[in-house]
């Protein structure tokens, strides 16, 4: 646990396993994302993780769609401290050719799957989380440790 004074420590826990297989789609290398220490006065804080989404059956599935829901009310993307104080964030998904904002309840379509097992040892997706300090007054946020969960759904198209 971090100790924070006059700043906000943020960690987002991505709910996933190191390797998850649903049908013929697999996610490899997805990790927790840590915003680190945030101090008032900045404009935007971005944290990200790159990982692999691939298929063993490229002839049947070449594209996928993705949805992300937060643990907040109605799937909102919020980080919370132990007193239920909230910090909003946004989520973007990029496959290298395009980056799209995600929202709970809406699947984003037409991302290309890698046909190489485990993406050939590389990554083909970046999940980006963003806190825009201009969207709220960070000075009014209670200092402390904030955390949350993000639930990802990836399925063939």
**Considering the domain boundaries, does residue 1 fall inside one?**
no
Give the confidence band of 61 by pLDDT, cuts at 50, 70, 90.
low
Domain, as residue range, for 109: 8-156
**Considering the domain boundaries, does residue 3 fall inside one?**
no
Q: How far apart are CA 143 and CA 6, in angstroms?
A: 6
Q: What is the pLDDT of residue 123?
A: 92
CATH of the domain at 76: 2.60.40
As a whole number, the mean pLDDT across the chain is 79
Torsion, CA 41, CA 89, CA 94, CA 31, rounded to 10: 100
- Please give the full DSSP string across 61-107, using - where no structure is assigned: --EEEEEEEESSGGG--EEE-TT--EEE-EEEEE-SS-EEEEBTTB-
Give the confidence band of 15 by pLDDT, cuts at 50, 70, 90.
very low
**Considering the domain boundaries, does residue 132 fall inside one?**
yes
**Is 99:108 a contact under the CB 8 Å cutoff?**
no
- pLDDT, tens digit, for every residue of 98-143? 899 999 999 998 788 888 888 889 899 999 999 887 666 666 778 8
């Amino acid at each position: 646990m971090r100790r924070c004074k006059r700043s906000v420590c943020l960690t987002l826990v991505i709910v996933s396993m190191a390797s998850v297989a649903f049908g013929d789609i697999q996610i490899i290398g997805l990790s927790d994302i840590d915003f680190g220490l945030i101090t008032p006065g900045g404009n935007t804080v971005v944290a990200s993780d790159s990982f692999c989404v691939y298929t063993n059956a490229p002839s049947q599935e070449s594209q996928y769609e993705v949805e992300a829901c937060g643990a907040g009310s109605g799937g909102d993307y919020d980080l919370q401290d132990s007193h239920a104080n909230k910090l909003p964030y946004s989520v973007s998904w990029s496959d290298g050719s395009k980056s799209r904002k995600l929202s709970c309840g809406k699947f984003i379509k037409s991302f290309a799957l890698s046909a190489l097992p485990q993406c050939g040892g590389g990554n083909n997706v970046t999940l980006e989380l963003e806190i825009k300090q201009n969207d709220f007054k960070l000075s009014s946020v209670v200092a402390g440790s904030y955390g949350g969960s993000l639930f990802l759904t990836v399925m063939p198209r």
